[in-house]
């Protein structure tokens, strides 16, 4: 009668040990890599800021004022979202860049870079990080297709609100062959970022002016 019990205990111990080992391994590498991953992404973010700006601004040395804001509904994440405000020599805003998240990507949230002129016209949208299916949804990357460029020059009223959707849903934006969820998620996230900007534009400019004043003092 002892034999089955002994083997049950042995099995449980074995499973427990392997599970603990696996948990330790994953936790360890998460802790070891977390800061480096965040630093890598930050570096890439700063490098790619210029890509969503008006071409005239791209050639200048930019010193964007960095803010963080939180709006789960419109910016797609509970985490603080980066906002960069670029001002001219007199402190007038020349461009705003938001870094919202499309929470409903196919495999994982998609992080976007959304560049706006001060009057709310899109100067560029790029995908910062995503986990969409290679060969289908990854056409949202500029290096794989020009799909993401269709947002250039659009604003919250152009196209009108009911046409801010992919063509499949009766909207004005092209979809992607073989990927339905991905374009839908991005169109919605860009539109939400525009709504956020409309609602909070003055607050952003005030905060940027205060932050800029604080650094020059």
Partner 1 sequence: MDELKHTVRAGLWTSNPALVQVLGLCPLLAITTTAVNGFALGVATTAVLVVTNTVISLVRRTLVPVVRIPLFVLVIASLVTCIDLLTNAFLHELHQVLGLFIPLIVTNCAILAQAETVASRQRVSISAASGLAAGLGFCIVLVALGAMRELAGQGTLLAGTGLLLDAEEDPFRIELPFGGVLAAVLPPGAFFGLAVLLAIRNLLVRDEASAERFPIAQEPAGAAERSS
Binding site for partner 1 (CB under 8 A): 7, 10-11, 14-15, 17-19, 22-23, 25-26, 29-30, 32-34, 36-37, 40, 107, 131-136, 138, 143-144, 177-178
- Token pair 């004022």 is found at 65
Nearest distance in Å: CB 94, partner 1: 28
Task: Give the C-alpha separation, 85 to 97, whole Å.
Answer: 6
Q: Would you give the end-to-end CA distance of the chain in angstroms?
A: 82
Q: CB nearer to partner 1: give 17 or 161.
A: 17
Q: Which is nearer to partner 1, 30 or 63 (CB)?
A: 30
Say which residues have a Cβ less than 8 Å from residue 162's Cβ, sequence separation at least 6: 170
State both tokens at 83. 């906002």
Give the CA distances from residue 89 to residues 62, 103, 212, in Å, rounded to whole numbers and listed in that order. 11, 37, 11
| Closest approach of partner 1 to the CB of residue 127, in Å | 12
Closer to partner 1 by CB, 102 or 193: give it.
Answer: 102
Smallest distance from partner 1 to CB 76, Å: 20
Q: Which residue's CB is nearer to partner 1, number 29 or number 70?
A: 29
């Amino acid at each position: 009668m002892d034999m089955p019990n002994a083997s049950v205990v042995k099995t449980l111990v074995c499973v427990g040990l392997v599970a603990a080992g696996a948990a330790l391994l994953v936790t360890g590498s998460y802790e070891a890599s977390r800061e480096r991953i965040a630093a890598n992404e930050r570096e890439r973010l700063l490098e790619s800021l210029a890509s969503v700006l008006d071409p005239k601004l791209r050639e200048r040395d930019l010193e964007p004022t960095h803010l963080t804001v939180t709006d789960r509904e419109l910016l797609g994440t509970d985490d603080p979202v980066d906002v960069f405000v670029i001002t001219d020599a007199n402190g007038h805003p020349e461009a705003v860049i938001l870094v919202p998240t499309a929470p409903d990507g196919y495999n994982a949230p998609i992080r976007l870079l959304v560049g706006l002129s001060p009057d709310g016209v899109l100067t560029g949208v790029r995908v910062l990080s995503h986990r969409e299916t290679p060969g289908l949804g990854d056409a949202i990357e500029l290096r794989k297709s020009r799909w993401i460029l269709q947002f250039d020059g659009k604003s919250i009223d152009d196209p009108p609100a009911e046409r801010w959707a992919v063509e499949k849903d009766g909207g004005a934006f092209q979809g992607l062959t073989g990927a339905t969820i991905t374009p839908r998620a991005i169109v919605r996230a860009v539109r939400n970022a525009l709504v956020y900007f409309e609602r909070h534009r003055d607050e952003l400019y005030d905060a940027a002016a205060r932050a800029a004043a604080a650094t020059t003092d």
